[in-house]
Amino acid sequence: MSTSPIRSKERFLVFGAPAIEDAEVQEVVATMRTGWLGTGPKVAQFEQDIAQYKNAPHAVAVNSCTAALHLSIVAAGLRQGDEVITTPMTFCATVNAIIHAGATPVLADIDPVTLNIDPVEVEKKLTAKTRAVLPVHFAGRPCDMDALGAIAKRHQLKIIEDCAHSIETQYHGRHVGTFGDFGCLSFYVTKNVVTGEGGMVLAGSEEDAARIKVLSLHGMSKDAWKRFSDEGYKHYSVVEAGFKYNMMDLQAAIGIHQLRRIEKYWLRRQQIWQQYNEAFADLPLGTPADPDPQTRHAYHLYTVMIDEAKAGISRDRFLSAMTAENIGVGVHYLSVPEHPYYQEKLSWRPEQFPHAMRVGRQTVSLPISAKLTDEDVADVVKAVRKIVRGK
Ligand SMILES: Cc1ncc(COP(=O)(O)O)c(C=O)c1O
């Protein structure tokens, strides 16, 4: 194997770096010049734009998807002792949000092909205490919403969708995040639309949207954000103990312009996805399953599976080798029960969810941001081929 890396250290390819263009920069500067940095008219516009894009009746901006999930679970009326079924193949935030809302997370294993929660496993985890199902559309691939919707209907469960990876995702012609009571989006720096930190709740009913809005700003009655406006001081009432989860205009200023380019960025990631599929077809590693018909995949993550027995290199050695080539990689995710907190508090063991455990121990996410140049993509391909062929 040659010793010189595919890229120089100075050109380290940062995993998940967002594409930021001039319009965002100008809008942030203009927002700063108005002096109104906090929650205001830009946030209201971004909410409207997202609701229109997702064809959702209501959208409420918050400062992260974690906050969106937390508020949705609270607004769904879940409380101590209520069980929420979710996937072990997700970011810890999904499970933590359930815990913070006082409910009990219950895991159902994934389908090993789609990497999404398996409705058959969900059925097995139903108890008299189950109140909600919280599917995560992993990597941007929609969950089986027909099957999950039928289970929810039969057992009168709330559906709260984690759409952190799946802004563009559609299932049978309908946007994910609009199937259940709540859909939660993320605009974190590595996501498909970014605001730095940021999130949004899509709500099916006006009542739920209003409650989320109140909960996101200390529990103050609506329109409290106007209290320092040029209309003069306004009294507000605190109607419940809320949270400090509101989005700032500074963040929305970025998101408004990102959203206008959503299709362009999606097409670019689709192109990179296809280039990787072709480039790795002859290598002894697993590549993502093709999208299902009648669905739209958001192409948020491109994951390869490194099975040491086939690839001749362990997953963790592969991660180090990519880093040595100066290419940033990620792991999405070690299955949730691998982490000590959940083992101690909830007695979860990775072996109880064998598909998620295997995937979590083999998976590697390669860069797929719309910011990548053709040369960046070629470098990723060269590095993967060099490592797997040269092991
Ligand atoms: C599946 C999933 N859920 C929730 C989150 C939390 O999103 P945020 O960072 O916006 O709180 C993430 C973020 O990485 C995620 O990937």
pLDDT tens-digit map of 245-300 = 999 999 999 999 999 999 999 999 999 999 999 999 999 999 999 999 999 999 99
Beta strand 363-366 pairing with 83-86: unpaired
Mutate to test the pocket of ligand 1, among 69, 99, 186 (most ligand atoms within 8 A of CB): 186
223 has a pLDDT exceeding 70: no
Confidence band, pLDDT 50/70/90 cuts, at residue 10: very high
Residue type, 104: T
Structure tokens at 16: 């998940």
- The pLDDT value given to residue 3: 76
Ligand 1 center–CA 166 separation, angstroms: 11
Residues 115, 190, 284: CA angle, nearest 5 degrees? 45
Check residue 226 and give its pLDDT: 66
Within a 10 A sphere around the Cβ of 281, how many other Cβ atoms? Answer: 8
Atom of ligand 1 nearest to the CA of 90: 1
Q: Average pLDDT of the chain? A: 96
Protein residue whose Cα sits closest to atom 7 of ligand 1: 65
| C-alpha 136 to ligand 1 mean position (Å) | 10
> What is residue 74's predicted lDDT score, i.e. its pLDDT?
98
Residue 59 pLDDT > 60, yes or no? yes
Q: How confident is the model at residue 202 (pLDDT cuts 50, 70, 90)?
A: very high
Pocket test for ligand 1, best of 62, 64, 65, 71 (most atoms within 8 A of CB): 65
Note the pLDDT of residue 389.
Answer: 84
Report the alpha-carbon distance of residue 136 to residue 184 in Å, rounded: 10
pLDDT of residue 45: 97
Q: Are strands 174-175 and 295-296 parallel, antiparallel or unpaired?
A: unpaired
* Active site (catalytic) residues: 191
The answer to whether residues 259 and 50 touch, using CB atoms and an 8 Å cutoff, is yes
Residue 107 to residues 9, 155, 244, 352, Cα–Cα distance (Å): 41, 17, 29, 9
Do the strands 83-86 and 130-134 form a parallel or antiparallel pair, or are they unpaired? parallel
115-164 pLDDT, tens per residue?
A: 999 999 999 999 999 999 999 999 999 999 999 999 999 999 999 999 99
Give me ligand 1 centre to Cα 307, in Å: 27
Output the pLDDT for position 235.
Answer: 81
pLDDT at 37: 93
Q: Give, in order, the Cα–Cα distances in Å from 375 to each of 315, 327, 378.
A: 25, 12, 5
Residue 198 CA, ligand 1 centroid: distance in Å: 10
Given a cut of 90, whether residue 85 has pLDDT beyond it is yes
* Pocket (CB within 6 angstroms of ligand 1): 64-66, 90-91, 93-94, 136, 162, 164-165, 186, 188, 199
- What spatial distance separates the first Cα and last Cα of the chain, rounded to whole Å? 8
**For the packed helices 41-54 and 249-260, what is the interaxial angle rounded to 10 degrees?**
30
What share of the chain in percent tops pLDDT 70? 97
The residue-averaged pLDDT of 334-349 equals 98
pLDDT value, residue 391: 63
More confident residue, 41 or 225: 41
- Is 80 exceeded by the pLDDT of residue 1? no
Average pLDDT, integer, range 75-99: 98
